[in-house]
Amino acid sequence: MSDYGIPDGYRKMDTFPIHTYELSSKHGEKYYVRFNFRTELGFSYLSTAEAAAIQSADLDYFTRDLYNAIDSKNYPSWKLEMDVLSVHDLEKVDYSPFDITRLWKNGTFHTVPIGRLVLNRNVENQFRDIEQAAFNPANLVPGIPGPVDHIFRAKRMFYKDSQNYRLGRNYDKILVNMPVYEKTYVRDGRPPISLNMKNAPNYYPNSFHGPVPYVDEHRPWKKLQVLQSISVDLEPAWYFYNYILEDEAHRQRFIANIVLTLVPVTPPVVQRVIKLLHLIDQGLSERVKAGYEVALAAQQAAANTTPYETMSFRRVPSAEGHPTHEPQQFSMNPKK
């Protein structure tokens, strides 16, 4: 509903995962982070009318804009940052940082810059480089055990299962999914299987200097237990409206978009939405209700207004004595 939902192309939007990742240092210290990509072109948005016009005429607007920018060497770039909470910080915050529906509150974390992401080359083969790509949340580098929320745990299983079905058992041996340097005991089976590790042993342990399992000796073994509560389910929405939408013009567009979606629905649904918005913020619900009443009245007035007068007839006798119809009034002028 807000401007963040209608960016002006991929190049002018920020992006971030919804999960909170656990990181561990070589000293056994644990941190909880959220990664963010901030566009270096500056965030830009479309109005609702502009987005509707583009969608009706050019469904590939985002993709074409990105492709043409890279092709013309106007490479889009993003700053990679991570918002960090320590274990001690977790004890001080009044919200669950592991809730994927929640934004972290400003002032409760510190941000660390990591690097830049620059897209400097378009794909050469859409099927080979894009359609066959298989991203798996279970493939994490040492030092990142992964988020603790249940949604991410489910993804670890379902993503691999989906890729097995879509691309085959050896999807990780397709060129786009292969590591640059590979040492593995996983081989054979359904194609493609590439070089298949040639004549290296496929068992462990062995005396042929094969790969050994990685053991993260510095990883803390204490598990964090997350207790969920529904008492603050609406608090993220209140925080977003009151603190993220700081610009009044942005709030007005936000409310106008809500009203736009409420006009076509039935009154009972509208009442439920207004009640829910009242639980989030009383001022928000009042402004949405007022906007809805104005929009509904305008729609009803437009429906009851006939743009042109209609033709009416009266029966008059013809020369042969048979009744006929004669136009009584006709006007192409709109009614005043």
In the prediction, which pLDDT does 331 show? 44
- Give mean pLDDT, residues 155-166: 90
Q: Is the pLDDT of residue 67 over 90?
A: yes
7-30: per-residue pLDDT in tens?
A: 999 999 999 888 999 888 877 788
Report the C-alpha gap between 117 and 168 in whole angstroms: 31
In the prediction, which pLDDT does 315 show? 54
Cα atoms found within 13 Å of the Cα of residue 143, Cβ hemisphere only: 7
More confident residue, 244 or 330: 244
The answer to whether 98 and 147 have CB atoms below 8 angstroms apart is: yes
Report the C-alpha gap between 233 and 235 in whole angstroms: 6
Residue with tokens 């830009």: 44
pLDDT band of residue 257 (cuts 50, 70, 90) is very high
Most confident of 193-197, 210-214, 267-271: 267-271
Extract long-range pairs of 102-108: CB within 8 Å, 24+ residues apart.
102/235, 102/236, 103/236, 103/239, 103/240, 103/244, 104/34, 105/239, 105/243, 106/243
More confident residue, 281 or 173: 281
Looking at the whole model, is its pTM more than 0.75?
no
Q: Is the pLDDT of residue 90 over 80?
A: yes
The answer to whether 273 and 260 have CB atoms below 8 angstroms apart is: no
The alpha carbon dihedral of 65, 71, 72, 76 has a sign of positive
More confident residue, 189 or 178: 178
CATH fourth-level superfamily of 3-177: Catalase core domain (2.40.180.10)
Report the C-alpha gap between 23 and 2 in whole angstroms: 32
Q: Is the pLDDT of residue 101 over 50?
A: yes
More confident residue, 115 or 94: 115
pLDDT band of residue 191 (cuts 50, 70, 90) is low
Going by C-alpha positions, the residue among 57, 36, 8, 45 that lies closest to residue 254 is 45
Q: In this structure, how many other beta carbons lie within 10 angstroms of the beta carbon of residue 169?
A: 15
The answer to whether 34 and 21 have CB atoms below 8 angstroms apart is: yes
Going by C-alpha positions, the residue among 236, 226, 234 that lies closest to residue 147 is 226
Of 20-29, 182-191, 243-252, the range with the lowest mean pLDDT is 182-191
pLDDT band of residue 73 (cuts 50, 70, 90) is very high
Residue 283 region by backbone torsions, left for phi larger than 0, else alpha for psi between -120 and 50, else beta:
alpha
- Give mean pLDDT, residues 187-206: 74
277-324: per-residue pLDDT in tens?
A: 999 999 999 999 999 999 998 888 888 775 554 445 455 555 555 555
Cα torsion through 137, 139, 145, 147, rounded to 10: 0
In the prediction, which pLDDT does 150 show? 86
- Give mean pLDDT, residues 42-46: 91
For CATH 2.40.180.10, the residue range(s) in the chain are: 3-177
pLDDT band of residue 336 (cuts 50, 70, 90) is very low
In the prediction, which pLDDT does 53 show? 92
Instruction: Give Cα 276 to chain centroid, integer Å.
Output: 23
Average pLDDT score over the chain: 83
The answer to whether 76 and 34 have CB atoms below 8 angstroms apart is: no
Q: Is the pLDDT of residue 193 over 80?
A: no
Q: In this structure, how many other beta carbons lie within 10 angstroms of the beta carbon of residue 135?
A: 8
